[in-house]
Amino acid sequence: MRMPPAPFVSLRTCLLPAALLALALAGCDRHGDAAPAAPQAQVHTHATDRTELFVEFDPLVAGEKSTFAVHFTRLADYKPVASGTVDVILSGSDAPSERFRVRAPRAPGIFAPTVLPRATGMRELSLVLTTPGLEARHDLGQVMVHADAAAARDAGPAAGQVEGEIGLLKEQQWNSDFAIEAVQPRALRESVRAPATIRPSADGAAEVVATSAGTVRAAGRFPVLGEAVVRGQTLAMLVPRLGGDTDAASLQAELAAARSQAALAEADAARMQRLHAQQAVSQRRLQEAQAARQVAGAQLQAAQDRASQLGGGGGGIALRAPVGGTLARVPVANGAAVEAGDVLFHIVDRSTLWLHVHVAEADAAKLDAPTGAAFELPGLDAPVEIRAGDNGRLVGVGSMIDPDSRSLPVVFALDDPPARIALGQDVQAQVFTGRTRTGLSVPAEAVIDDGGQRVVYVMRSGESFSRVPVRLGLRDGDRYEVLEGLAAGDRVVGRGAMQVRLAAATPEAMGHGHAH
């Protein structure tokens, strides 16, 4: 059996009214027997849409002071309310309303108003928190204000922890990544699970290949893997490998000779033109000079074309980026010898990536009008979701089952993908079919695999939790459908489930009383 939680012990020993304690001690003296059972502590947990209240106090006795241990939590971030006033209001039962106020917390999130009731009987109990930008009223229902301490003692024994429940103090909840969520019916997207691969978009990748055998030379700094490049940028130079006995020097000599011959032919043709005008040479001689000029010009052009492969100064053929993006592969180094057709650079535009999903033949008929997809990355708890019309789109759905894999291809585009996504990565994906159904659900991080059994932790009171096995249905993004185990209104630990599990495993380390 688990020990009673520290909060109850702290309240009963520290906040027990003096009159009740005196009665208990007197009873021991009179009867020489064990002290009567302590009165039952009052414990209430209540939530609005913005705040959660957890309050403990000893039974109320008319004319006797009772100090409340009030814990207020902001539900937006599940952190303590650091400032403000708290009013405790007793009303109803044909008696005047009584209000008791404390103007500041004793510690962040913890208020300790002192209540001194006058009227007896069943009273409506409310607590009102007022802090800048927020006012929250928590109506807790009826409480009994007893006529005297004996009546309070006779109301019942002190409250203890229910067998099997797990204690975790509010201070421990506030100091961890913690959140509580009320289970409610909601629309869930139906989906099918399938393997998938991350690839570049159809026009978002390009390869730069060697057009001939040769040597790759840097054009300044040689590109490196992961470097961003722009369309048209010169990545490197390819110096072609020349055939036979031809080398760079002989090409330059041929070019010089061709230039000289072209110049001579041009001058001779001009001279023949002048002489023909003076009728000093025949028409045939002029035509021969003009033909020689054309041949010399063609030879010069051919020599220039051959020499241009070396870039004039030996630089070679410029290798330019056909698309902008990131260098995904650089399989060559500066000075490497390559053959025609070798891949020198692989460029990928990562602004849009494609998710290629392979939906099993048995699930293909469920794809009415896919609205999006989600996929899990190893090492990350939350899946990456593609929402059509938001951060991506449906590229297409195949109309034929692949005969080898017996699967239907479905492709989604993801815009501005996270940098941690690697191209070529195999992932497990969900394709949302376009159908929805209503059901209870919990955050995926609320579900713990406990020895092969899926469990969640349900808050029973502000500092007490139960381990509840659940049967899960479909997964919608970062949520699981719950088919069995929970009911609407149950308050489940959404974040911090492992903290509660640790408290269950090591109760001696998880609750040494409040710092009230």
The secondary structure of 335-383 as a DSSP string is: T-EE-TT-EEEEEE-TTEEEEEEEEEGGGGGG-SS--EEEEE-TT-SSP
Cα 337 from chain centroid? 45
Reply yes or no on whether the pLDDT at 299 is more than 70: yes
Handedness of CA 267, 272, 278, 281 (dihedral sign): positive
Cα(387)–Cα(9) distance, rounded to whole angstroms?
51
Q: Check residue 13 and give its pLDDT.
A: 37
Report whether pLDDT(332) > 80.
Answer: yes
pLDDT of residue 161: 55
pLDDT class for 288, splitting at 50, 70, 90?
confident
Q: Could you give the dihedral angle defined by the CA atoms of residues 249, 255, 261 and 264, in that order, rounded to the nearest 10 degrees?
A: -110
User: Which pTM value belongs to this model?
Assistant: 0.66
Q: Considering only 33-47, 255-269, 370-384, 485-499, which range has the smallest mean pLDDT?
A: 33-47
Q: Give the model's pLDDT for residue 316.
A: 75
pLDDT category at 156 given cuts 50, 70, 90 is: low
pLDDT of 243 reads: 60
Say what the pLDDT of residue 8 is.
Answer: 32
For 43-88, the pLDDT digits (tens) are 999 999 999 999 999 999 999 999 999 999 999 999 999 999 999 9
CA–CA dist 479, 496 (Å, integer):
16
- Cα(266)–Cα(297) distance, rounded to whole angstroms? 9
Question: What's the pLDDT at 304?
Answer: 75
Residue whose C-alpha is closest to residue 170's, from 55, 301, 88: 55
Confidence of residue 15 (pLDDT cuts 50, 70, 90): very low
Closest of 61, 47, 54, 74 to residue 7, by C-alpha: 54
CB 447 within 8 A of CB 455: yes
- 176 or 376: whose pLDDT is higher? 176
Residue located via tokens 């640790």: 502
Residue 26: is its pLDDT beyond 60?
no
Q: Is the pLDDT of residue 101 over 90?
A: yes
pLDDT band at residue 107 using 50, 70 and 90 as cut-offs: very high
Instruction: Tell me the C-alpha distance between 209 and 187, whole Å.
Output: 52
Could you give all domains of the chain from N- to C-terminal order, each with its CATH number? 6-161 (2.60.40.1930), 181-200+351-495 (2.40.30.170), 205-348 (2.40.50.100)
What proportion of the chain, given as a percentage, has pLDDT over 90? 59
pLDDT at 21 (0 to 100):
40
Residue 434 pLDDT:
87
- 246 vs 44, higher pLDDT: 44
Q: Which residue carries 């917390």 as its tokens?
A: 105
Confidence tier at 116 by pLDDT (50, 70, 90): very high
Please say whether the dihedral angle defined by the alpha carbons of residues 480, 486, 489 and 490, taken in this order, is positive or negative.
negative
**pLDDT mean over 132-147:** 94
User: Across all residues in the chain, what is the average pLDDT?
Assistant: 85
Amino acid, res. 431: V
Alpha-carbon distance of 247 to 241, in angstroms, equals: 9
pLDDT of residue 251: 65
Chain segment 203-229, per-residue pLDDT in tens: 889 999 998 888 899 988 999 998 999
Amino acid at 79: K
Average pLDDT over residues 100-116: 96
Predicted pLDDT at 87: 97
Task: State whether residue 242 is helix, strand or coil.
Answer: coil
